[in-house]
Amino acid sequence: MNSRTAYILEAAIKEFIASGEPVSSGRLHDHYNFGIQPAMIRQELSDLAEQGFLEQPHHSAGRVPTNRGFQFFAELVIERTEPVSPREDLASAFWGQAWSEFLGELSGELGILGVAGDLSRGTVYKDGLDSLVDHFESGSFVELKKIIHDFEHIDERIKTLPLSEADDFIEIFIGKKSPITKSETLAVVIADYDINGDRVCIAAIGPKRMNYEKTARIFKGLKKAKKEI
C-alpha cells in the first residue's frame, strides 16, 4: 500500500471512530489535504473496499471499516504512539498490584472492560463490565449475551494466553480473532508485563471504535512509570 492510500485509509477510519457514521469522499476532502480531488478519493475508497479494508453499507454513499481495516489502524496507532507516564495514582496501583483500584480507574478512563491476569500466580481480576455495556453499539441482544458470556469465561481463557516475552509487547485483536473473547463486536488490546518476577497480562476490552491511541499511551506509559515511582 502506498503512503497516500494508507493516509486515506487511516483518515477514513479515524473519522468513523469519531462519528460512528459512514465516511464519504467529500467529507475526507473537506477535512484532509490529500492533494487530490473527491473523485480520486472516491476511487481510492473503492479500491480499499475491494482489498477488504472498508465496506459500503446498503443505501449509503460512505464507507465503514471492516475488521481488517480496524486491525490496520490499531496496529499503526499502537506502533507510533509514544509512552506518556499515566497519572500517579494509576501507576502506583498498577506497580503495587492493587488490581481492583487499578482496573476501576482504567475502565473509567477508557470506557472499557479491564482485565488483569497474574499468570505466574494463576489469579485474574476484572472490572468495568458496566462501562463496556454502556459503550455497546450493536443493539443486538444476541451480541450482548455473547459479551456477558465472555465476561464470565475470561478467567480461564486469559490464563492460557500465549504471549511474547518481549518487554514492549502490545497486541491488538479485532472481533473473533481475540483469544479471550468470542464476540464479533469487540476489540481487545493486550500487554504483557514483568512485575517483581510475576508475569502479568493486562487487557482492555472495548468496542471496535475504542480509543486505541489513549489505550496504547497508557499501556506503554506504565512501563515508563516504573522508573519514576
pLDDT digits (tens, 9 = 90+) for 115-134: 999 888 889 999 988 888 88
In CATH, the number for domain 86-228 is 3.30.450.40
Cα angle 85, 86, 92; round to 5: 105
In DSSP terms, 193 is beta-bridged to 200
pLDDT at 77: 93
In DSSP terms, 173 is beta-bridged to 188
Confidence of residue 70 (pLDDT cuts 50, 70, 90): very high
CB 137 within 8 A of CB 207: yes
Residue 87 has pLDDT above 90, yes or no: no
Residue 169 has pLDDT above 80, yes or no: no
Residue 164 has pLDDT above 70, yes or no: no
CB 147 within 8 A of CB 186: yes
Of how many residues is the chain composed? 229
Residue 61 has pLDDT above 80, yes or no: no
Residue 57 has pLDDT above 90, yes or no: no
Query: What architecture is domain 3-65?
Result: Orthogonal Bundle (1.10)
Cα of 152 vs its chain's centroid, Å: 21
Which residue type does 41 have?
I
Cα angle 174, 175, 179; round to 5: 85
Q: Which residue has cell 492493587? A: 98
What are phi and psi for residue 64, nearest 5 degrees? -130, 155
The domain limits of the chain are: 3-65, 86-228
Confidence of residue 166 (pLDDT cuts 50, 70, 90): low
Look up residue 125 and give its three cell numbers: 481480576
